[in-house]
Structure 1
Amino acid sequence: MSAEQAARFAVRIGVRSYEMDVNGHVNHAVYHQYAEHARMEHFRASGLSEHALAGHGLTVVLLSTTVHFRAELRAGETVDIDSEIAFTRRKPFTMSHRIRRVVDGAGTPVDQLAAEAECTMGVLDLGTRRLVADPYARLSAVATDPALLGPAPD
């Protein structure tokens, strides 16, 4: 498995009735929460829980996020949310997410892209309250499974 493949991570969740808006589909803000959930689970799986990071004086912060909506989601459906991290030599890095419907409300397996989220992230030094240089190196030094972070930047 290549490092790029190892960096992709996914979680599965059910769409809940209280996430609906007045039009009967998932509220736009919930897509951001789905992406956040996938990000946090991706970090936890790599050994970068909030507690582990704080023990090294670090935290991960969201700098910006954009969601592109492709298809409506409704209560009772099941979605997979994947995440992939990409580092450069700069302080910010990105996490991309695809939210895919995998089971419709009738219980039928499907595969449909519902949304894509692009997030710009940074690693914050808790002491200085500044973004750290070389976030890949800082995160991989703490991670118990650094392969989930993907390849080092070129």
Structure 2
Amino acid sequence: MQINLELIVRSTEIDVNGHVNNAKYLEYLEWGREEWYEANALPYEVLKEHGVQTVTVNININYRKECRQGDRLTVITQPQSIGRSSYVLLQRIVNEQGELCADAQVTSVTMDVDTRKSRPVPDPLRDLFA
């Protein structure tokens, strides 16, 4: 399922070049992933009940267009692919004009809460990639 998160660029997110600092894009993506988990009834507590936590292990991001203070952005998050203990979410950030500002593939691993080792993706999460 695709989830959209709307946000407005704040003054504290702007760098000396007058546009959104590159690190803030990663934060926007994190907010989008949190929204995706929540919308799919898999918040942190539920995943923990399944004995796992999710850990981001790789983010491959492309910065396409600068964003400025006051811009209204949408963070789009959707499942892309899944393996035994890892999965990839595709994320895009678009502006009000529908222009692509950034896109990323984010790989996460499900980690056992006790052993801190990877373990198979639980079925409720796996089902979102069907």
Letter in 2 for 1:48: L
Which of the numbers 102, 106, 109 marks the counterpart of 1:115?
A: 102
Q: Mapping of 1:53-64 within 5 angstroms?
A: 53-64=47-58
* CA distance, structure 1, for counterparts of residue 92 and residue 102 of structure 2: 6
Q: Which amino acid aligns with 2:13?
A: E
Matched, 1:37 2:16: no
Task: Give CA deviations for 1:47-71 in whole Å, capped at 9, x if unaligned.
Answer: 1111122223211110111210110
Partner of 1:106: none
Quick one: which amino acid aligns to residue 132 of structure 1? Answer: R
Equivalent of 1:89 in 46, 58, 83: 83
Shift of 1:138: 5.4
More off after superposition, 54-63 vs 34-43: 54-63
Give structure 1 stretches of 5+ with no counterpart: 1-6, 103-109, 141-145
Cα pair 1:123 1:131 within 8 Å, conserved: yes
User: Alignment partner for residue 46 of structure 1, among 35, 40, 47?
Assistant: 40
Match status 1:124 vs 2:111:
yes
Query: Unpaired segments of 5 or more residues in structure 2?
Result: none
User: For the pair shown, which has the larger CA radius of gyration, 1 or 2?
Assistant: 1
Give secondary structure in 2 for the equivalent of 1:37: helix
- For normalisation by structure 1, the TM-score amounts to 0.79
Identity between Structure 1 and Structure 2 (%): 30
2:37 counterpart SS class: helix
With structure 2 as the length reference, what TM-score do the two structures score? 0.92
Aligned match for 1:68, one of 58, 62, 72: 62
Show the counterpart of 1:139: 125
Residues 79 and 129 in structure 2, CA contact (< 8 A), matched pair in contact too: yes
